[in-house]
Structure 1
């Protein structure tokens, strides 16, 4: 972890020094120019690595949040299905005990839902 922090801290200044050496060595195309190119490439690689790690961390946090929302949504749908199944299981006797709730048998309603065939929920 320390090495990664060192790369994060030093990659910007290394890229800046490399850019300065490249600009200084452009007229005479000497050793400073070549060293500057090497430092510039190494510094830019460190900066790109840092950005990719940050984006990866943000992506993983987003995926965890989406997974939590998906679990909550599935739980709500399961509760709705349970309530619908409980409502469908009402017979005449339980409808009488429903109190003030008005439960009506709809005309032309199917006895069983299509979604409940072949073992589906």
Structure 2
């Protein structure tokens, strides 16, 4: 498997645009997208080249891409792939919350915990 250089601006740009498309398919509001990726309020009016993403923002993008990949492996229909994130889930660590609400709390750790949870759904374990 080829290693991806997350410091390469081209890789970051592609990852960012892909993450935005995924978040839109997850039916995220602009406020949720802004919170999930720690973007400024005017991010929609900025050119990507004007944006300087932090290491944490790149990590958040990576988690979104990996969560989406895990959902694609776990589920075979688009309704579940894109709808899971907005469904109430009573399993730990979600405990009756929607996954989107769980990761929107602002803590990077919650992205990691959700990714582990989704990976466990397929039987891959943590």
Could you say which structure has the larger radius of gyration? 1
Normalised TM-score (structure 2): 0.22
Structure with bigger helix share is: 1
Greater relative contact order, per chain length (Cα 8 Å cut-off, separation 6+): 2
Normalised TM-score (structure 1): 0.23
